[in-house]
């Protein structure tokens, strides 16, 4: 999820009462909720490094525990040097709990979207994803903002008129309950979408693998990817109407085996991409001095007319040696790709 969602969720957890157990609870929760994304620094090297290391060890069970302990030690060490707030001491056990809840909330939120996490690193590099939430979900942001923002505004009004200040606890509880309710609704719709996809044949072929991925706003609108023996098809699915056939967006014929495609998959960028991709599709273009191989992950297929999403481009010479490699979230279309 985006860092604003992580931050608002951390504030909601704090305002349920943890902020009254120890000083710096809210600060610790916010830092913990964003700390796993330190692996974004890997993207400073290149796109392939970002893809390899993002949501890696810092997004594992081991990683979030280590990050929480480090964060707890730093905040507790600094906090002891700061003059205490009356009637609210610095409590080490509660502060550690805040750090653990912060990092754990990050892992859980990231698990809900289609990008996924690798929670068992370094012992297993397998990806896990719930596939129910968009990476930046506007509906969730609205619910969190309402739950936290409205009580805060009411508190400001109460202060102006001299009334008793209201706590933000109810708004925080509303926010977390709304988050859980949205997860439940999207999980129901996701299961319906998968059932619709699995109940049909595609050009007289049965699906071998399939996936359903959310849209940013409508919880009942899904993008499906269906793999059969000879092709992959991207479709639109209405989870509210199981009798409505999925609408075909694009059919991708499986590429024929070729030395160029195999060589591209074995390059550094190609190997990293194939390890990440759930529905990979390759396109090979032969030129006078070599080959251009494009690899795409169709779960992120956007359908935009002028661009590709989640794409690795690998240029090979005539001897199938890599000349250049790149990974980008969006890239221009190559001739003949669409």
Could you state, in chain order, the average pLDDT of each consecutive group of 10 residues for the chain (338 residues)?
Answer: 94 93 95 95 85 93 98 94 76 96 98 96 96 93 90 63 62 94 97 96 94 93 96 95 91 93 96 95 92 94 70 94 90 59
Cα dihedral value 244, 250, 251, 254, nearest 10: -140
Round to whole Å and give the CA distance between 38 and 27. Answer: 17
Instruction: Could you list the beta-strand ranges (E) of 267-320.
Output: 280-287, 290-297, 307-317
Q: Which of 260, 306, 304, 253 is nearest to 281 (CA)?
A: 253
Q: Which of 149, 65, 74 is nearest to 102 (CA)?
A: 65
Q: What is the pTM of this model?
A: 0.90
Listed in sequence order, the residues at least 6 apart from 9 whose beta carbon sits closer than 8 Å to its beta carbon are: 33, 105, 109, 144, 175, 176, 179
Q: Is 291 helix (H, G, I), strand (E, B) or coil?
A: strand
234's torsion region: left (phi>0), alpha (psi -120 to 50) or beta?
beta
Whole-number pLDDT of residue 163: 46
Whole-number pLDDT of residue 155: 63
Under 8 Å between Cβ of 219 and 189: yes
């Amino acid at each position: 999820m985006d860092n604003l969602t992580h931050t608002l969720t951390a504030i909601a957890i704090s305002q349920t009462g943890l902020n009254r157990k120890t000083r710096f609870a809210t600060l610790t929760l916010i830092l913990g909720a964003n700390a796993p994304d330190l692996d974004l620094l890997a993207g400073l090297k290149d796109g392939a490094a970002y893809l390899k290391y993002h949501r890696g060890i810092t997004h594992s069970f081991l990683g979030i525990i280590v990050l929480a302990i480090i964060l707890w030690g730093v905040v507790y060490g600094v906090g002891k040097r700061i003059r205490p707030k009356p009637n609210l001491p610095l409590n080490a056990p509660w502060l550690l709990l805040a750090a653990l809840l912060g990092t754990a909330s990050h892992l859980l939120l990231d698990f809900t979207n289609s990008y996924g996490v690798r929670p068992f690193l370094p012992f297993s590099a397998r990806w896990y994803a719930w596939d129910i939430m968009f990476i930046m979900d506007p509906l969730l942001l609205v619910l969190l903002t309402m739950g936290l923002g409205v009580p805060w505004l009411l508190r400001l009004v109460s202060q102006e008129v001299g009334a008793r200040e209201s706590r933000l606890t109810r708004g925080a509880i509303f926010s977390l309950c709304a988050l859980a309710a949205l997860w439940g609704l999207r999980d129901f719709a996701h299961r319906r979408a998968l059932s619709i996809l699995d109940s049909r044949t595609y050009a007289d072929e049965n699906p071998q693998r399939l996936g359903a991925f959310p849209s940013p706003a409508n919880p009942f609108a899904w993008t499906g990817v269906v793999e059969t023996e000879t092709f992959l098809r991207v479709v639109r699915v209405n989870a509210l109407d199981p009798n409505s056939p999925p609408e075909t967006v694009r059919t991708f014929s499986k590429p024929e085996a070729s030395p160029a495609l195999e060589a591209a998959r074995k390059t550094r960028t190609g190997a990293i991409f194939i390890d990440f991709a759930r529905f990979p599709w390759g396109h090979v273009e032969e030129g006078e001095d070599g080959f251009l191989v494009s690899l795409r992950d169709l779960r992120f297929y956007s359908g935009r007319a002028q661009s590709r999403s989640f794409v690795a481009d690998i240029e090979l010479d005539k001897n199938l040696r890599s000349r250049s490699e790149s990974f980008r979230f969006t890239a221009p279309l190559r001739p003949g790709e669409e």
